[in-house]
Chain A
Amino acid sequence: MTMSRLEAQPTEVIDRSTTQRFRWNGKRFSGFEGDTIASALAAAGEHVFSRSMKYHRPRGILTADYWDPNLLVQVGDDPNVRAGHRLLEAGMDVQAQNVWPSLRHDIKAANGLVSRFLTAGFYYKTFMRPQKLWPAYERVLATFAPGGKVDPDTPHRYHDKRYTHPDVVVAGAGPAGIEAALAAAAAGARVLLVEHEHAVGGHLRYAHPEPARAALSELRAALDASDVEVLTDSTVTGRYEDNWLGIVQRNHPIAVERLIKARAKVLVVAPGLIERPFVFSGNDRPGVITSGAARRLINLWGVKPGERAVVFTANSDGDAAAADLDRVGVEVAAVIDGRDGRRVSAAQGSSKALEAVLAGGTRTEADLLVVAAGWTAPTSLLNMSGDRPVYDPNAARFFPSDPPGNVLATGGLAGDGSLDELRAHGAATGQLAAERAAAVAHRYQARTARALPVTGDEPAWVADLRVPLRRTHHPELHRSDTHGMIDFSEDVGSKDLVAAAREGYDSVELAKRYTTATMGSAQGKLETVNTVAAIAEARGETIAQVGTTVWRPPYAPLTLGALAGRVFEPVRVSSIHPWHEANGVRTILAGQWIRPDHYGDPAAEVRNVRANVGLIDVTPLGKLDLRGPDIPKLLNLLYTNKWSKLPVGKVRYGMMCAEDGVVLDDGVTGRLGEDHYLMTTTSSGAAGVWEWVENWLQTERPHWRVHVTPVTTAYSSINVAGPKSRELVSRVVEGVDLSPEAFKYMEVRTATVAGVAGCFMWRIGFTGELSFELHVPAGHGMHVWEALMEAGADLGVGPFGLEGQRIMRLEKGHFIVGQDTDGLTLGPSTGLSPLIKLDKDDFAGLPELAWAADRKLPMIVAIQPDDPNVVPEEAAQIVRGDTNEILGRITSSRMSPMLGRAICLGQVEPELAAGGTKVTVLLVSGERISATVMDHHAHFDPDGERLRG
């Protein structure tokens, strides 16, 4: 096979004035702009591009397009690049994959010597036993794994994403697809035309005769003048419910790939036909190519594919290839016409001195064997739509049977015909698609509140009155009188499939998985029909009887980057966040919130709060604005305690349980006015509690008159804590008497703070200190925070973060829902049984909690390690003595800056819950330490004197 660059061809797509230099296996090469990697290499005389997967046989060009299984190469950091499709770029570093030490001399080709033992199922049979050797097997087998190399340090590149809602998506821009798009657009539809190749036109692009070129020019001009959105180098990869389509757009100007999620009202499937190989001995030798490959090389890239050719043809494409070869000076030594019953039987010799052997033994020397044995109808998108295409032996390919009404097939997929007939069918299909899309659009519009009002009834579903394309006879050419390769990607031959069928894997689905035929890079486009034919032959049945595999997404393999698409990771920050950033904050990601964890020394922050006053930004604290006369009923239902008599100006703590009695959330709710309350939730529970409340109101108690509005981020929430907090707050608050007598613990006031009206302020204390929680309209949060910092400078005010707060709440023994409780923690386990009012008429979880009231449950308790310097890890197990019997776990643990010792909360079995009980804690290191259960949850200030100060 001696390939070279031809004189300029009238249909070529290369720009000979722009040379692009690149490297192939370390050597310098050049091509032209518009070349694919493969065409540039072919023009330079290269004829071996890869080694086969199992036997490492040399492989050359087979189809010279996207589907070519022999043209997978490594380009820089990109493995498995399709050299038959990827356009050449200057500076590319192209390497052959999975060869050692080189493509030319690949030692793994020794596998071919033992190929008779490497039959289908070889791995499964050979490496099952002994099981303990599998790790060793795996290491060895991994060295034979096909594909390129992925460098874990490869920089992440940008993959984009887009949604679109066209009326009609046309998959395939051959002549029928283009006509369909044009007709649909002319009928008023919004049309997206998606073409797999780099340019529209389908087979017209490499058809030499003038009528084809004129037709292509005409179609391109019409497209340019239309409103059709055209995506080239793009693939409709999958069709899902209601024509939800995945489309991958490659080489977008701003992204490596763009994943498009399209909701098409009608999908037109027009991918054309894919030429399939013929199975005979040596059919995978370099120099054996499809007729389409020959024509593409000649007409698109001006590459002479050989010097002396044998053409095996059973159709007009093969005839055209013979004509093209002859036209460009390739000696056509023989044309073997498959329509006459003649067959090529084998390809022998080397790639440079190939010998075509005909059935009967006639031999012809050549360096090129061109094969035109028929087509595969790529019905994948139809299969994904629920259609089960049917094989027609007369035409030797599958045809659509009964796709859903919003999926239409046209072009070669639907039948045969002259160019004019195909175009007419495409146009009729586009018209039908537009009419049906109009009906779907009417339906969508009528159902969508925001849409323009529709007029009239939904248009009738237009019947399919298209004149069907005919089906031309084509000889059934699958295998010659010899065996050969069926799946070039997976190195699966017809012998393997016969053997699989003999072993009982005679269902096409089983044989596919057993042999891996059709599972390679071409995803069955080249192999499926021949695979089915081989099984049919082995079973003595017809292809129609065997049936085919179900083609699932993706239509063509796609990258993980394309699937991942653009990564959106929303984060939330409070209004005060810029201050934190400017003041040395160490942040922590809590859910989506970026929160201050500490400002360098959390223990110092704790000491400052205990001695002076500190500020913490608690904006993420969930806040729900409640309005309406039935709020007390709602609160009684949601919380375990009673709410009917909460006066205006008062705040109450409540615990929420789910219907199974498990603790759901907790927080305080204040009554701001007669029918106006503000509920707070845990930060992590904010969204869940809102949903919980709305669920009760919308589905269980829809007659209750309550409006619930989440206002979590409408307010910046600032907790001012410490013995000097009253003094500090008094300096910025107007019109509120802050004295202990006038503003008591668990009360709420509306206030103007630092000139900001409409603030809420309540006295509560998660830290165990005298504290005032200010809820400030968020657009003034920073102003109030800075005012507090400024006003408290002489009081020693400082910020504290989540870590300091967690230490202080642990010193105080306050549990955190989700930290100290889990999905099995019933309400009484928290030690808050007095807040569970079983005498209420009803509340969420009442039956379970009534049941639990008489039972001994695991309890949350305060625990102190006997060695004060050892802080057990959170989640360390509490075990029975020296055994591994688990009796509980540490749920929270810290070193207390105030007590100078380790303190914990934990959950323990009921028999360990009494104060003074000794428990054993198993540390992660394996060491066991003793610890003591305390009488109270509070390690610090158990009587709450500081809190109420």
Chain B
Amino acid sequence: MADSPAFESPVVRSYETSEDGDLLLTDVSATIKWLVRASPDGAVADQLGASFGSSSAAASGATVLGSRPGEWIVLGTAAEAAGAVEGLEGLDSSDLVSCLDWTHGRALFRVTGNEAARMLEKVCSLDWSDPMTPDGAVASASVAKVTCDVARNDVDGTPSYLVFCDRSFGQYLFDALIDAGDEFGLVVGPAGG
């Protein structure tokens, strides 16, 4: 990645952006993402520390999402993500462990704000209440009819959700989220990573 040209986001349309808004949608597709697969109850699972449906913080600073039994998404900067996955494939010779750089395969958006759950109610049938989807929760769901991974990842106490989808759906889903957030005053934030 370091030697490659700049990452091109799947969101190619131009939007008026602002960082000031009670409900903010940000394209963070450039975030480094790794997919790790291993036994759900082996040494890798222990090291990553996030069981299915939950998330954890790796020592490297990466965020680890337990996206499925025996499957994790690792998020962060290149160094953070690499630090989290380094050595996993050799951790337990009896376990099949695979680590795949998924950065290019998944679009990633962040929705932040107190009305974020109300907005997501318009495009996704999950129960977004605090007991059912607390900070750190991870789930798979249809969002605007696109299969997505969704993680609640609050920012400074404000509800915030990460939404992942296949890169090719990225532009469609970004627009669908803007549409869903319109009635709540959604603002598009500058793309980040």
Looking at B1-9, B16-24, B153-161, the stretch in contact with chain A turns out to be B1-9
> Are B53 and A450 interface neighbours, CB within 8 A?
yes
Interface residues of B in 88-123 (CB under 8 A from A): 96, 98, 100-106, 121-123
The smallest C-beta distance from B74 to any residue of chain A, in angstroms, reads: 14
> Are B53 and A578 interface neighbours, CB within 8 A?
no
Q: A712-B166, A713-B166 are in contact. Are A778 and B137 (CB under 8 A)?
A: no
Residue A644, interface by CB 8 Å: no
Partner of A452, one of B3, B130, B144: B130
Residue A93, interface by CB 8 Å: no
> Are A628 and B5 interface neighbours, CB within 8 A?
no
Residue A714, interface by CB 8 Å: yes
Collect the chain B residues with CB atoms within 8 Å of residue A578's CB. 12
> Are A570 and B105 interface neighbours, CB within 8 A?
no
CA distance A675 to B101 in the complex (A): 17
Partner of A714, one of B3, B102, B128, B182: B102
Residue B43, interface by CB 8 Å: no
Residue B173, interface by CB 8 Å: yes
Collect the chain B residues with CB atoms within 8 Å of residue A782's CB. 8
> Are B105 and A451 interface neighbours, CB within 8 A?
no
Residue A135, interface by CB 8 Å: no
Residue B86, interface by CB 8 Å: no
Interface residues of A in 553-597 (CB under 8 A from B): 566, 568-575, 577-578, 593
> Are B144 and A448 interface neighbours, CB within 8 A?
no
Collect the chain B residues with CB atoms within 8 Å of residue A705's CB. 96
Collect the chain A residues with CB atoms within 8 Å of residue B121's CB. 162-164
> Are A441 and B131 interface neighbours, CB within 8 A?
yes
> Are B183 and A253 interface neighbours, CB within 8 A?
yes
Residue A444, interface by CB 8 Å: yes
> Are B100 and A709 interface neighbours, CB within 8 A?
yes
Interface residues of A in 755-770 (CB under 8 A from B): 755-758
Interface residues of B in 139-164 (CB under 8 A from A): 139, 144-146
Residue A449, interface by CB 8 Å: yes
Residue A495, interface by CB 8 Å: no
Partner of B132, one of A163, A165, A572, A712: A165
Partner of B183, one of A254, A448, A593: A254
> Are A574 and B168 interface neighbours, CB within 8 A?
yes
Q: A449-B53, A625-B100, A756-B5 are in contact. Are A261 and B172 (CB under 8 A)?
A: no
Q: A715-B104, A756-B5 are in contact. Are A627 and B98 (CB under 8 A)?
A: yes
The smallest C-beta distance from B138 to any residue of chain A, in angstroms, reads: 6
The smallest C-beta distance from A856 to any residue of chain B, in angstroms, reads: 43
Collect the chain B residues with CB atoms within 8 Å of residue A628's CB. 96, 98
> Are A570 and B96 interface neighbours, CB within 8 A?
no
Partner of B105, one of A441, A444, A629, A714: A714
Q: A713-B105, A713-B168, A783-B5 are in contact. Are A254 and B182 (CB under 8 A)?
A: yes
Residue B191, interface by CB 8 Å: no
> Are B8 and A575 interface neighbours, CB within 8 A?
yes
Collect the chain B residues with CB atoms within 8 Å of residue A253's CB. 183
> Are B4 and A757 interface neighbours, CB within 8 A?
yes
Q: A161-B122, A715-B104 are in contact. Are A450 and B138 (CB under 8 A)?
A: yes
Collect the chain B residues with CB atoms within 8 Å of residue A709's CB. 35, 37, 98, 100
Residue A828, interface by CB 8 Å: no
> Are B145 and A568 interface neighbours, CB within 8 A?
yes
Partner of A593, one of B1, B4, B131, B168: B168
> Are A714 and B144 interface neighbours, CB within 8 A?
no
Residue B176, interface by CB 8 Å: yes
> Are B134 and A619 interface neighbours, CB within 8 A?
no
Collect the chain B residues with CB atoms within 8 Å of residue A263's CB. 127
The smallest C-beta distance from B119 to any residue of chain A, in angstroms, reads: 10
> Are A571 and B132 interface neighbours, CB within 8 A?
no
Collect the chain B residues with CB atoms within 8 Å of residue A452's CB. 130-132, 134
> Are A778 and B100 interface neighbours, CB within 8 A?
no
Interface string of A160-177 (1 = CB under 8 A from B): 111111000000000000
Closest chain A residue, CB of each to CB of B126: A163
Partner of B54, one of A450, A568, A571, A715: A450
CA distance A263 to B124 in the complex (A): 13
The smallest C-beta distance from A773 to any residue of chain B, in angstroms, reads: 17
Q: A261-B125, A593-B168 are in contact. Are A568 and B131 (CB under 8 A)?
A: no
Collect the chain A residues with CB atoms within 8 Å of residue B123's CB. 568
Interface residues of B in 42-96 (CB under 8 A from A): 51-54, 96
> Are B144 and A570 interface neighbours, CB within 8 A?
yes
The smallest C-beta distance from A255 to any residue of chain B, in angstroms, reads: 9
Closest chain B residue, CB of each to CB of A619: B168
The smallest C-beta distance from A695 to any residue of chain B, in angstroms, reads: 16
CA distance A573 to B8 in the complex (A): 14
> Are B131 and A445 interface neighbours, CB within 8 A?
yes
The smallest C-beta distance from B54 to any residue of chain A, in angstroms, reads: 7
Q: A570-B146, A714-B105 are in contact. Are A778 and B169 (CB under 8 A)?
A: no
Collect the chain B residues with CB atoms within 8 Å of residue A160's CB. 122
Collect the chain B residues with CB atoms within 8 Å of residue A162's CB. 121-122
Closest chain B residue, CB of each to CB of A260: B121
Q: A713-B167, A715-B104 are in contact. Are A568 and B176 (CB under 8 A)?
A: yes
Other contacts beyond A448-B53, A450-B133, A451-B53: 17, CB < 8 A: A254-B183, A445-B131, A450-B53, A450-B54, A450-B138, A451-B133, A452-B131, A570-B144, A571-B169, A575-B167, A627-B100, A712-B168, A714-B106, A755-B5, A756-B4, A777-B4, A778-B167
Question: Can you list 11 pairs linking A and B with CB atoms under 8 Å apart?
Answer: A163-B122, A163-B124, A261-B125, A449-B52, A450-B132, A570-B145, A575-B8, A593-B168, A715-B104, A757-B1, A782-B8
The list of the 6 closest CB pairs from A to B, nearest first, reads A449-B53, A714-B105, A572-B168, A450-B53, A450-B137, A165-B127
Chain B positions within 8 Å of A, measured between CB atoms, are 1, 3-5, 7-10, 12, 29-30, 35, 37, 51-54, 96, 98, 100-106, 121-134, 137-139, 144-146, 166-169, 171-173, 176, 182-183
Chain A positions within 8 Å of B, measured between CB atoms, are 160-165, 190, 253-254, 261, 263, 441, 444-445, 448-452, 566, 568-575, 577-578, 593, 619-620, 625, 627-629, 705-707, 709, 711-715, 752, 754-758, 777-783
